[in-house]
Amino acid sequence: IIRTALPNMDREAREQYSVVIQAKDMAGQIGGLSGSTTINITLTDANDNPPKFPQKHYQLYVPESADVDTAVGKIKATDADIGVNADMKYSIIDGDGLGIFTISTDKDTREGVIILKKPLNYEKKKVFSIKIEGENTHIDPRFWNLGPFKDTTTLKIIVGDVDEPPVFSLPFYTMDVFENSKLGTVVGAVTAEDPDSAKNLIRYFIEHDEEAERYFNIDANSGVIKTMKILDREDAPWHNITVIASELDNPSQLTQVPVAIHVLDVNDNTPELAEDYDTILCENAKPGQIIQTVRALDKDDFANGPRFSFSLAQEFPPNPNFTLRDNEGND
């Protein structure tokens, strides 16, 4: 029977031992025969070492453009044990980054993977701090007195500033202008700003190759849109343009926004008869008999068109044989 000679043998200090055993006959007397063998002894592991973070403070740089639900960094605690005795899980237990970041455990590498859960904005918050805990998942009750089998560290997360394109004050714009307005009439204005701390100046322009570009221009500095042509509501009641805003110092950073321009009606069209009328009347028609209903049309909007007023033309002499009744409508 082989027994240990020393208490508290430590695998982490020495894992293997070799013992030479000799057997003799004749009770070990002189002249007896003997044989020997070597026995290799390997100490098995027990979870008697807690995890330890090599540092108490870490720093991590994450650009504000990092995508949500992606890994942005890793952290690892060491454990002198092996196998399942070195398995651990990571969790965030405190800090103002709680809820912005989460941490998962890579079981193969025993690393903590830090994951971004909400968008970052350098202009709103530049630094986060989280307290991370690494804890063994398999604890041997015989070694409770050597615990706790966990450790903590603090991770400072620095948000990196990324040059972002301009942001318009509205997702889309709707503007009104009366038809027949003189050239240079102000239709409205768009507004955009640089969301970065640099607050670069913004320049505006209308997207090229658009038909509406011939009707409107935009002040590059102020974003004010003006007419370049006389507008006709009856020809086009709506014009749709795309306005682009770019940074003065970095023209590649640009954003576009749709602008819908509604051309308002003015009463600039005279009523017209719906058709050319040619009336046939029988000679025995009775007095007061309706012989023709006349309809009129107007290209203007409803507010400036119907209802119509009908009367006999004053420039022609009155004819006593016929009368006209005004229905105060379209006919």
Residue 98 carries which DSSP code? B
Task: Tell me what pLDDT residue 49 has.
Answer: 83
Q: Mean of the per-residue pLDDT values for the chain?
A: 85
Task: Tell me what pLDDT residue 232 has.
Answer: 87
Count of beta carbons in the 10 Å neighbourhood of residue 131: 15
Residue 5 carries which DSSP code? S
Token couple for 164: 């972002």
Contact 79, 86 (CB under 8 A): yes
pLDDT at 174 > cutoff 70:
yes
291 torsion bin: left (phi>0), alpha (psi -120 to 50), beta (else):
alpha
Count of beta carbons in the 10 Å neighbourhood of residue 195: 17
pTM of the model: 0.59
Task: Tell me what pLDDT residue 44 has.
Answer: 67
pLDDT band at 106 (very low <50, low <70, confident <90, very high): very high
The whole-number average pLDDT for the span 260-280 is 77
Nearest to 88 by CA among 62, 56, 52: 52
- Percentage of the chain exceeding pLDDT 90: 47
Task: Tell me what pLDDT residue 162 has.
Answer: 86
The whole-number average pLDDT for the span 194-204 is 87
More confident residue, 289 or 213: 289
Nearest to 306 by CA among 280, 277, 331: 331
pLDDT at 133 > cutoff 90:
yes
How far apart, in whole angstroms, are the C-alpha atoms of residue 91 and residue 93?
6
pLDDT band at 109 (very low <50, low <70, confident <90, very high): very high
How far apart, in whole angstroms, are the C-alpha atoms of residue 40 and residue 33?
24
Q: Is 241 helix (H, G, I), strand (E, B) or coil?
A: strand
pLDDT at 327 > cutoff 80:
no
pLDDT at 316 > cutoff 70:
yes
Q: In DSSP terms, which residues pair with 200 in a beta bridge?
A: none
pLDDT band at 274 (very low <50, low <70, confident <90, very high): low
Task: Tell me what pLDDT residue 270 has.
Answer: 65
Q: Is 304 helix (H, G, I), strand (E, B) or coil?
A: helix
pLDDT at 330 > cutoff 60:
no
